[in-house]
């Protein structure tokens, strides 16, 4: 599919509305637009993660670019309401591919003995931000699915993507060796006296 964008601004959204792919006008505060926006926000964070990868992470960068394309496809899927014959829907084949990639990365990581705090390397921190933003996008799509029909595979894909970004964060912290582990009750704020 070839996309041509001749203008950046159209003035079509100046009154707080925007259009879906079929021309339906919605408020920019509509759950549908919020869900599409959350996928876009996630995509931007994945781009920032890619920008923070070390030079030797070419394979991961390529995988993350694939994730960015998937997120854009998911936004395109949401942009065309269910029942529209012109829509190209994201298919169920995404889940096994994601699960295979999660297991490939996880195979190098020691089992966890505690929850992991966000942090470690800058790239791992961006992966944690991607993970939490995917969770936010997932909540947004669940809310939308309560209001209108959406492609049912989109929510499970986001659920799996949050797992993916978790193992990516551990990969970027030397496969978990530089993870920062949660220590319950061990903070300055929980100390008495």
Query: How far apart (Å, rounded) are the C-alpha atoms in residues 20 and 37?
Result: 12
What's the pLDDT score for residue 52?
Answer: 96
pLDDT in tens, 70-114: 999 999 899 887 666 656 778 899 999 999 999 999 999 988 888
Cβ pair 40, 68 in contact under 8 A: no
CA 193 from chain centre, in angstroms, equals 43
What domains are defined for the chain?
A: 29-79+94-109+118-181 (1.20.1200.10)
Band the pLDDT of 64: cuts 50, 70, 90. Answer: very high
CA 142 from chain centre, in angstroms, equals 14
130-159 mean pLDDT:
95
Report whether pLDDT(139) > 60: yes
pLDDT in tens, 7-26: 656 666 566 666 666 777 76
Q: Who wins on pLDDT, 111 or 69? A: 69
What's the pLDDT score for residue 110?
Answer: 86
pLDDT in tens, 172-182: 999 999 988 88
What's the pLDDT score for residue 109?
Answer: 94
By percentage, how much of the chain surpasses pLDDT 70?
82
Cβ pair 66, 55 in contact under 8 A: no
Report whether pLDDT(193) > 60: no
Which two three-digit tokens encode residue 107?
Answer: 């195979």
111-134 mean pLDDT:
94
- Spatial CA neighbour of 90 closest among 32, 148, 154, 1: 154
What's the pLDDT score for residue 31?
Answer: 87
């Amino acid at each position: 599919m070839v996309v041509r964008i001749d203008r950046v601004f159209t003035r079509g959204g100046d009154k707080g509305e925007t259009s879906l792919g079929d021309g339906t006008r919605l408020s920019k505060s509509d759950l549908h637009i919020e869900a599409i926006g959350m996928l876009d926000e996630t995509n931007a964070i994945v781009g920032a993660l890619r920008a923070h990868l070390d030079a030797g992470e070419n394979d991961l960068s390529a995988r993350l670019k694939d994730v960015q394309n998937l997120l854009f496809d998911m936004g395109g899927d949401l942009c065309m309401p269910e029942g529209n014959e012109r829509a190209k829907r994201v298919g169920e084949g995404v889940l096994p591919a994601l699960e295979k990639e999660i297991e490939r990365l996880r195979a190098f990581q020691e089992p966890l003995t505690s929850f992991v705090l966000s942090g470690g390397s800058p790239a791992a921190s961006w992966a944690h931000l991607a993970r939490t933003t995917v969770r936010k996008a997932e909540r947004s799509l669940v809310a939308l699915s309560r209001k209108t029909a959406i492609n049912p595979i989109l929510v499970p894909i986001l659920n799996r993507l949050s797992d993916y970004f978790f193992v990516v964060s551990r990969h970027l912290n030397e496969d978990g060796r530089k993870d920062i582990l949660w220590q319950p009750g061990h903070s300055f704020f929980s100390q008495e006296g």
